[in-house]
Amino acid sequence: MKRLLSGNEAIALGAWEAGVRYAAAYPGTPSTEILPALAQYPGVRAEWAANEKAALDAAAGASFAGARALAAMKHVGVNVASDSLMTLSYTGVGAGLVLVSADDPGAFSSQNEQDNRHYARFGKFPCLEPSDSQEAKDFTRFAFELSERFDTPVMLRSTTRLSHSKSAVEVEMPAEPREPGPLPPFERKPRKYVMIPAHARLRHPEIEARLQALAEYAETCPLNRVEWRDRRIGVIAGGVAYQYAREVFAGFSFLKLGMTYPLPTGVIRDFAAGIETLVVVEELDPFIEEQVRALGLEVIGKEFFPPTGELTLARVREGALKAGLPVRGQVQVSGFKSQTEPGTLQPETLELNVPPRPPALCPGCPHRSVYFNLRKLKLLVAGDIGCYAIGVLPPFEEMDMLISMGASIGMAHGAKRAGCPDKIVATIGDSTFFHAGLPELANIIYNRGAACTMILDNGTTAMTGGQDNPATGVTLQGETTQSIDIESVVRAMGVEDLWVVDALDVKGVEQAIREATAIDDRPTVIIVNGACVFTPQFRRRPAVVVDLEICNGCGLCFRVGCPAILKSEEVDAKTKRPKAEIDPLLCTGCTVCLQVCPRKAMYQTQGKEA
């Protein structure tokens, strides 16, 4: 049976077919959908972890205990988990352990576009790169076997394009439902699992030997294959880049790499000897290319296929043309049948200039009043990872630093401690607070810092589509659980200067910020409560309407940056500026604009709640 699956859904299916018993992840684009897909299958315990390290640690424990386990995360999440990952390479595994790293070339939803294949070389474990959904499923299954055969964690590297593209996958439904039996008692192996220095020194040579064995295995690994066609050009490619290259270099020879670390050097030498011009097409860094060059082979690579941004058919094609390579140009003739001819013809296209739609906070978003006030008070803002990063964009333009999960508090503290004269506020969401904010808050309290931390609690992990977290009281598998109360946590850490405010009370938020930032000799915390519009807790209220008789087009409401507030056709006679109007379908009745309007030209419609 064939089913249409995204790469992420296929990874989940492959893991399930492999008999995975435990899986954990912290949500992060483009990896997020793997765990919810796994949670649907029977016999798997699937969890949202508080952060990526917690996810990998739990997967490691499961593996040591004899259960096949998987941890999934976005590329920068691996940085968080890397402390454990580097040493997991030394311990090896009990049952198969697979780390899914979903990279984001093009940084569609990330703070950088790092290439995580380097982790495989850094940590000396294998890296598999599928190039479509079918391979995503097959390679994931294979990864568990590889992990056990070589006693190593295995990294399955996806990218945004693979994770989020859907193609048909052959699904084999098991004959009978799988009932996982109890695990045997834990097999104690302290020299393998307890990495004190003496044990680590003993393990290191074994890891080098394992890498050697993996490199030999790579020569016959079924995930790597040579496709002999026209031998004037030979292309080495893996992952989604292979698909682009196959279209651009249709008809030429390929070495398709499914395992991109360690590389099959013998296969590469033989391939290079069998063709005239060697080309490497890979996304981001010259990871394969540099290793191929180290073999003394000449290769066309990153000088033509850029290391920045996502590759596309167009970019691969453009690179090929610049490199003077013959490529196949598809010329549409009629209907859907296309005729393939060699050549350099660029498709005709329209040149239209349409302004982009910048990301904006949703109508009703609880972060709106925060950034409106921060802007009004002209404070320095250290931001964090989440929807509230939109605070850096117009109309707020009220964020001065942002690097990674939890960093807002630390950056605010450091800037202040070093003597920065400005008043500084850190803004961090609830999920991010539990991910990496806790130690940072402990740090600022311990070191008698003086910045204000604003915890924007919207009751969900909003940016990635609304996943539960330690504060929401629900697990990934839908059970009710302890909801960790942020206010109690902050109080327990000894913060006495604490404000708890309603996000939709614009004046209340302003008042709290004014009072908190007036204190400059100890850390303060403001918890801003307001449900994300995508949570069940959110209550939509009657839409706000503009009285065009009273509105004089002052434009202040435009500065709350709400997509529901539009410039109307009507222009005020005196100010010569367009009056405001509100899209009743988009408006959620949060009334932030109404509270901000100096002329009281807005009112809330009565009537039943939508």
Partner 1 sequence: MNQRPPSPPDPMELKIVLAGLGGQGVIFTTRLLAQTAVALGQPVMASEVHGMSQRGGSVVSHLKIGGSKAPLIRRGTADLLLALEPNEAVRNLPFLRRGGIAFVNAENSLQPEVAEHLERLEIQVLSLPASRMAMELGSIAVTNVILVGFAAAHSSLPLPIDTLRETLTTMARRRRELNLQALEAGYRAGCRMQEAGSMRL
- Whether residue 29 contacts residue 77, with contact meaning beta carbons closer than 8 Å, is answered with no
Q: If you compute the radius of gyration of the chain from its CA atoms, what whole number of angstroms results? A: 27
The reply to whether 4 sits near partner 1 by the rule CB under 8 A is yes
- Whether residue 100 contacts residue 72, with contact meaning beta carbons closer than 8 Å, is answered with yes
Candidate residues 82, 152, 243, 595; the one interacting with partner 1 per rule CB under 8 A: 243
For partner 1, the binding residues in 115-134 under the rule CB under 8 A are 131-132
The reply to whether 569 sits near partner 1 by the rule CB under 8 A is no
Binding mask 509-548 for partner 1 (x = CB under 8 A): ------------------------x---------------
Q: Which is nearer to partner 1, 156 or 385 (CB)?
A: 385
Residue 484 and residue 140: Cα distance in Å, rounded?
34
- Report in angstroms how near the CB of residue 356 gets to partner 1 at its nearest: 8
For partner 1, the binding residues in 262-321 under the rule CB under 8 A are 312-314, 317
Parallel, antiparallel or unpaired: strands 22-25 and 69-74: parallel
- Whether residue 300 contacts residue 294, with contact meaning beta carbons closer than 8 Å, is answered with no
* Interacting span for partner 1 (CB under 8 A) from 69-77, 164-172, 287-295, 492-500: 164-172
Binding mask 344-363 for partner 1 (x = CB under 8 A): --xxxxxxx-x-xx-xxxxx
Binding mask 431-450 for partner 1 (x = CB under 8 A): --------------------
Q: What one-letter code names the amino acid at 538? A: F
Binding mask 172-201 for partner 1 (x = CB under 8 A): ------------------------------
- Report in angstroms how near the CB of residue 300 gets to partner 1 at its nearest: 20
CA dist list (Å): 519 to 30, 204, 498, 522: 41, 52, 11, 7
Candidate residues 247, 515, 570, 572; the one interacting with partner 1 per rule CB under 8 A: 247
Instruction: Name 165's Cβ contacts closer than 8 Å, sequence gap at least 6.
Output: 6, 7, 132, 133, 240
Please provide residue 47's backbone torsions phi and psi, each rounded to the nearest 5 degrees: -135, 145
What are the residues facing 498 on neighbouring strands? 525
Instruction: Name 333's Cβ contacts closer than 8 Å, sequence gap at least 6.
Output: 339
- Report in angstroms how near the CB of residue 351 gets to partner 1 at its nearest: 7
The reply to whether 608 sits near partner 1 by the rule CB under 8 A is no
Other CB atoms closer than 10 Å to residue 19's CB: what's the count? 17
- Whether residue 345 contacts residue 329, with contact meaning beta carbons closer than 8 Å, is answered with yes
Candidate residues 81, 390, 402, 601; the one interacting with partner 1 per rule CB under 8 A: 390
Other CB atoms closer than 10 Å to residue 499's CB: what's the count? 18
The reply to whether 577 sits near partner 1 by the rule CB under 8 A is no
Candidate residues 166, 229, 328, 567; the one interacting with partner 1 per rule CB under 8 A: 166
- Whether residue 427 contacts residue 370, with contact meaning beta carbons closer than 8 Å, is answered with yes
**Half-sphere exposure of residue 121: CA atoms within 13 angstroms, side-chain side:** 12
In the complex, the residues that contact partner 1 under the rule CB under 8 A are: 2-4, 108-109, 131-132, 161-162, 164-168, 240, 243-244, 246-247, 312-314, 317, 330, 332, 334, 336-338, 346-352, 354, 356-357, 359-363, 387, 389-390, 463, 465, 533, 563, 585-586
